[in-house]
């Protein structure tokens, strides 16, 4: 089974190599789609294998446990939807003159490289390799954010690179400090940053240095996850990136960065106890939800609206991680999966609305349900997922997070979070209803829908309903991940 750990990395790399040779064409686009599906398939096959413990490969360099498998399922699902939609999306971009053959070629190479880097981040057993993989995602996505080569796209790409590079630099310093304390705890230099080595030696790590490393890693990986204080790149990058890339960044990349933070948390909690990172996660989580909810109230751009929704949800994930119980971590993982699928739906629909109106202003879009039933339904279902309406899975995950916060004696956090989520809920409903309902304007353009985008939307709707109505088969996986991460009862 250990060879399966190589599939999520090698399959996208093969797709990237083929795209580099042949450029953008249907063949290379569908090979990338197959690579994304291979990531999903490898995660699905590994589900039962990791319930009893971690699986290693390549001399303990790669590791698969229940958290790894969960993230592979998220990555494979969203990646399949995004790469499927990319086929028609880039063809339309070429037809409408928003990109050229060179831009499409670069997109074809970078998209699978982005998938490979994220896959390496979640299967790495070494914290240093994980850091390299997270940094590689910045390099790949910076060019994808600037895909349209407009002034706004270039500004967003530079802002993304500068802010995330500061965050990654902090994470690097934190990683170096972890290496230092691991060596002084008796670990060999070759394996000092291995997750299993750090977990085994956690009790011997110097608490003062570990505390500093944990703070730096929280800020560093928090920047990549869209958490305060390094959150300002997120709205610009998501609003300028191609819709499938926005789906991957919002639905997967933010979660991959947070999964890296969960890895660190499992070590730090054994060394320092749960109080230190709990306090940090509560502060950044609550501030992130507060800022996101506040900006949603005044938002006039629908792609930025979706970006701030991602901030809100990652803040909630941080708050759940602060609770730290098995219920909280399991609910967090369900939330991540449901959010990934729901955010893919709304970003894919938003991409078609942007293409039709040549604008992302909420005021420019009305009567979507009347003008394009599938785009309207996809956008409506995605919003319903994101605001936590039943029967969708985020209703169950948010309810479970609320129970976990109450059980962890964090009632004041629960109260503040519910108030902020209510504000975000009202803002999303208000803006979403403006776009979806009401009569269309007399001069409203036709909303074109490429076949592959339509297929991805239909699949996303079905998956959202299926996960909401029957998340049961994944419950054991999420609970196993919580146990392996050292969550309390």
In the structure, what pLDDT confidence band is assigned to residue 48 with cuts at 50, 70 and 90? confident
* Average pLDDT of the segment spanning 92-113: 94
Domain contains 247: yes
Nearest to 306 by CA among 421, 427, 157: 427
pLDDT of 438 > 80? The answer is no
Q: 349-368 pLDDT, tens per residue?
A: 999 999 999 999 999 999 99
Q: For residue 139, what are the contacts with CB-CB under 8 A and spacing of at least 6? A: none
The answer to whether 255 touches 71, Cβ cutoff 8 Å, is: yes
Position 473 scores a pLDDT of: 77
pLDDT of 60 > 90? The answer is no
Q: 152-179 pLDDT, tens per residue?
A: 999 999 999 999 999 999 999 999 999 9
* Average pLDDT of the segment spanning 235-252: 94
CB atoms within 10 A of CB 312: 28
Domain contains 159: yes
Q: Phi/psi zone of residue 385: left (φ > 0), alpha (ψ -120 to 50 degrees), beta?
A: alpha
Rounded (10°) angle between helices 326-357 and 393-407: 140
What pTM, to 2 d.p., does this model score?
A: 0.96
The answer to whether 401 touches 316, Cβ cutoff 8 Å, is: yes
Domain contains 130: yes
pLDDT of 54 > 90? The answer is no
Domain contains 275: yes
Residue 96, classed as helix, strand or coil, is helix
- Percent of residues, the chain, with pLDDT higher than 90: 89
Position 480 scores a pLDDT of: 93
Burial, 232: exposed, middle or buried (Cβ in 10 Å; 0-12, 13-18, 19+)? middle
- Percent of residues, the chain, with pLDDT higher than 70: 99
Sign of CA dihedral 160, 430, 82, 134: positive
Domain range holding 248? 2-484
List the structure tokens of 407: 């059980």
Scan for tokens 């970078």, then name that residue. 110
Nearest to 68 by CA among 54, 81, 57, 58: 54
Domain contains 238: yes
Number of structural domains (the chain) is: 1
Q: 214-240 pLDDT, tens per residue?
A: 999 999 999 999 999 999 999 999 889
Average pLDDT along the chain: 94
Alpha helices per DSSP H over 47-150: 66-96, 101-123, 127-145
C-alpha 191/C-alpha 182 separation (Å) is 9
Bridge partners of 64, per DSSP, are 55
Bridge partners of 124, per DSSP, are 62
Domain contains 337: yes
The answer to whether 365 touches 357, Cβ cutoff 8 Å, is: yes
C-alpha 138/C-alpha 109 separation (Å) is 15
Bridge partners of 62, per DSSP, are 57, 124
The answer to whether 20 touches 50, Cβ cutoff 8 Å, is: no
Domain contains 489: no
pLDDT of 441 > 90? The answer is no
CA atoms within 13 A on the CB side of 124: 24
* Average pLDDT of the segment spanning 400-411: 95
Position 482 scores a pLDDT of: 94
In the structure, what pLDDT confidence band is assigned to residue 1 with cuts at 50, 70 and 90? low
* Average pLDDT of the segment spanning 238-250: 94
Give the gyration radius of the chain's Cα atoms.
21
Position 406 scores a pLDDT of: 96
pLDDT of 213 > 70? The answer is yes
Whole-Å CA distances, 18 to 12, 21, 140, 330, 414: 10, 5, 17, 38, 50
């Amino acid at each position: 089974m250990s060879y399966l750990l190589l599939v999520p990395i090698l399959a996208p790399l093969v797709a990237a190599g083929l795209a580099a040779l042949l450029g953008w064409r249907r063949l290379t686009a569908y090979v990338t789609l197959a690579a994304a599906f291979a990531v999903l398939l490898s995660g699905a096959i590994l589900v039962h294998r990791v319930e009893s413990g971690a699986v290693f490969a390549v001399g303990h360099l790669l590791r698969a446990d229940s958290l790894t498998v969960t993230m592979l399922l998220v990555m494979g699902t969203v990646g399949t939807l995004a790469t499927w939609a990319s086929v028609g999306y880039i063809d339309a971009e070429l037809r409408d003159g928003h990109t050229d053959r060179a831009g499409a070629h670069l997109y074809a190479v970078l998209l699978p490289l982005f998938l490979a880097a994220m896959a390496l981040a979640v299967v790495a057993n070494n914290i240093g390799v994980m850091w390299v993989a997270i940094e590689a995602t910045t390099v790949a996505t910076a060019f994808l954010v600037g895909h349209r080569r407009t002034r706004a796209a270039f500004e967003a790409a530079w802002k993304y690179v500068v802010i995330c590079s500061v965050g990654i630099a902090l994470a690097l310093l934190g990683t170096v400090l972890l290496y230092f304390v691991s060596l002084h705890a008796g670990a060999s230099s070759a394996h000092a940053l291995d997750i299993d080595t750090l977990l085994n030696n956690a009790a011997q790590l110097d608490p003062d240095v570990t505390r500093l490393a944990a703070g730096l890693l929280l800020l560093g990986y928090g920047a990549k996850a869209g958490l305060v204080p390094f959150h300002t790149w997120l709205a610009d990058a998501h609003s300028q990136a191609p819709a499938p890339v926005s789906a991957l960044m919002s639905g997967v990349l933010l979660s991959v960065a947070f999964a890296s933070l969960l890895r660190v948390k499992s070590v730090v909690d054994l060394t320092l106890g749960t109080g230190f990172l709990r306090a940090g996660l509560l502060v950044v989580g609550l501030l992130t939800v507060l800022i996101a909810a506040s900006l949603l109230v005044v938002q006039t751009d629908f792609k930025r609206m979706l970006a701030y929704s991602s901030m809100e949800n990652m803040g909630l994930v941080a708050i759940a991680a602060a609770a730290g119980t098995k219920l909280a971590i399991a609910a967090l993982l369900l939330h991540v999966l449901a959010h990934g699928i729901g955010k893919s739906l709304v970003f894919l629909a938003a991409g078609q609305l942007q293409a039709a109106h040549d604008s992302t202003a909420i005021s420019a879009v009305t009567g979507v349900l009347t003008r394009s039933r599938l785009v309207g339904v996809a956008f409506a279902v995605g919003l319903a997922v994101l605001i936590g309406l039943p029967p969708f899975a985020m209703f169950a995950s948010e309810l479970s997070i609320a129970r976990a916060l109450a059980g962890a004696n964090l009632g004041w956090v629960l109260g503040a979070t519910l108030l902020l989520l209510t504000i975000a809920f009202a803002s999303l409903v208000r803006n979403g209803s403006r776009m979806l309902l009401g009569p269309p304007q007399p001069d409203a353009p036709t909303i074109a829908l490429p076949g592959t985008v339509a297929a991805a939307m239909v699949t996303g709707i079905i998956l959202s309903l299926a996960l909401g109505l029957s998340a049961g088969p994944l419950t054991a996986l999420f609970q196993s991940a919580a146990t392996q991460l050292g969550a309390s009862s």
